[in-house]
Copies of this chain bind each other. A is one copy, B any other.
Amino acid sequence: MEHKRSYKYHVEPREADLTKRLTLAGLSDCLLNVACSDAKLSGYGSNDLGPNAGWVILRMGLEVTRLPEELEDITIATWVSDANRLATTRNFEVRDSSGAQIASAVSIWAALDLESRKPLNLNEFDFYSSAIQDFPMPNTPPERLTSPESLIKYTHQVLYSYVDANGHTYSINYLRMALDTLPLETITNHAPVRLDINFMHETRYGERLTIVSDGSPNPLFEILAADGTPACRIRIVWKPVPQNE
């Protein structure tokens, strides 16, 4: 396949925040949905990896020129650019209806045995070698984040609406928890430039998580499982948005 496969998406009003734009979490939802659809369409979806196997996202680096507005139509191109034994790279380019690129992302995934939680060897999936497309990555790869200087701590209990079909916290909900610790004005007075997110450990229904924030202008978050294991780290780089723009 010589082109990047594309998916259309319509921004529903319920996915927009006070800025009337798709939220950072909503955009991330979109990318994960597209990854899932594209893997399935390509013949290597979670169900194709074998019984009790599935794709899990390890890291994502997302760059944003502008977040799309509510009711806007966007197109998301996606392709796999690399795979080694333990991880594969999936890329995204988000374009508006004029064709202008408004966001991009590089994400790293592993295929897991869902019972042992151990990674499967991607080299053993013959069909996967045909997945690779030799287009350059659209932005720098996701960073490996370190723990923030502990400054502010919040707690969040994982309830029904936060878990996925496997009973684990749905990955983008860590981003929602982190954003929910910020004053509303911080979110509405800034536009995201870059998001790095590392998924390190799964958490389950009922767990009481701790969210640690360094409280800096470009905040670094760490979300800890009930036993103190780091589950997710997030850094957001913002730019101020002139009000009454």
Q: What does the 1/0 interface line of A166-201 toward B look like (CB < 8 Å)?
A: 110010100010011010100100000000000000
CB neighbours of A117 from chain B (8 A): none
| Residue pair B71, A40 in contact (C-beta under 8 Å) | yes
Q: Which residue of B is nearest A54, CB measured?
A: B13
CA distance A164 to B20 in the complex (A): 9
CB neighbours of A170 from chain B (8 A): 14
Q: How many copies does the complex hold?
A: 2
8 extra interchain contacts, Cβ-Cβ under 8 A, other than A18-B163, A160-B184? A12-B33, A17-B164, A18-B165, A18-B166, A20-B165, A25-B161, A159-B180, A160-B182
Q: How far is the CB of A202 from chain B (nearest CB, A)?
A: 14
Contact of A207 with B by CB under 8 A: no
How many A residues touch the partner, as a band? 35 or more
CB neighbours of A160 from chain B (8 A): 17, 179-180, 182, 184, 187
CB neighbours of A159 from chain B (8 A): 180
| Residue pair A165, B205 in contact (C-beta under 8 Å) | no
Most B CB contacts (10 A, CB to CB) among A18, A25, A165, A182 go to A165
